[in-house]
Structure 1
């Protein structure tokens, strides 16, 4: 297989609704043809200033109805992280298939300066993922592996 080849030629339809008062806020959108994430936009009424070390919940102006076998992951934007130290506090944040409220993004400022977010600014990205159905199988012993029980840093990194 070559890079850029389409693995699953399918489109998933997801219902999305702008929350009241946010008709001017862009829906999640991809910034390039093969981007994995959809950029999310701030739906704040006023500008929000986040001081260094502080966090804020920023509304995204929409709700969705995901299929039961999917989740939406909210992730930081790399440009905001690199240039300003702005990231998502619980990353990735998970939007479950049964959640119907407005999507919000918890941003934290790890930078040195106050960071201001204005209405319509790109604040995070959302990646849609499949979630498999899982059944637990209780066993008395797990199969062996090369790693075994090696934990954090076991490879020397």
Structure 2
């Protein structure tokens, strides 16, 4: 049985859509009343995506920046990934930072217009797990090593 996801469009909003048969995520469009300029270094700008969503219980949506935005602009998602829980019913937004500085191309300003495809929405089934408090964890070869620790021994010696 295919799960249904209900989408409520806001005034001027557009339906998220997959552009190809092999697409994993749905393209989402900016819903802004005017050309929104983001100045170099500006952070935490909330861009509405023009829809609210009703996800089935046991699912969540992840809001990601489109890969082309990462190449063509200095815009980045402020919190890495937007997470939409199944019980949220407000308008879905993406929160962006402009990581360019004023000396970069085009003075570093980035503009977002109404209807621009700026985000992707990935719908994910939540894992069914139980968290259990433990005094000790099992041993592994890696142990507590992190932050690049597995690559330290891969460097060739001269």
Residues 69 and 130 of structure 1 are in contact (CA less than 8 Å); yes or no, is this contact kept in structure 2? yes
Q: Distance in 2 between matches of 1:59 and 1:26?
A: 11
Greater radius of gyration (CA): 2
Greater CA drift, 138-147 or 89-98: 138-147
Greater CA drift, 47-56 or 93-102: 47-56
More helix by percentage: 2
The equivalent of 1:46 in structure 2 is 34
TM-score, scaled to structure 1 = 0.86
Q: Does 1:96 align with 2:91?
A: no
Decide which of 124, 128, 134 is 2:129's aligned counterpart. 134
Residues 70 and 131 of structure 1 are in contact (CA less than 8 Å); yes or no, is this contact kept in structure 2? yes
Which runs of no fewer than 5 residues in structure 1 stay unpaired?
1-9
Cα deviation, residue 132, structure 1: 2.0
Cα deviation, residue 11, structure 1: 3.1
Which runs of no fewer than 5 residues in structure 2 stay unpaired?
153-158
- Matched residue SS, 1:103: strand
1:89-119 alpha-carbon deviations (Å, 9 max, x no partner): 1121100111000001111112332111111
The equivalent of 2:98 in structure 1 is 109
Decide which of 5, 9, 14 is 1:18's aligned counterpart. 9
Alignment map for 1:78-97 (pairs within 5 Å): 78-97=67-86
Residues 8 and 53 of structure 2 are in contact (CA less than 8 Å); yes or no, is this contact kept in structure 1? yes
Q: Distance in 1 between matches of 2:80 and 2:23?
A: 18
- Matched residue SS, 2:69: helix
Residues 73 and 126 of structure 1 are in contact (CA less than 8 Å); yes or no, is this contact kept in structure 2? yes
TM-score, scaled to structure 2 = 0.85
The equivalent of 2:24 in structure 1 is 36
1:10-36 alpha-carbon deviations (Å, 9 max, x no partner): 6321011012x22xx321111211111
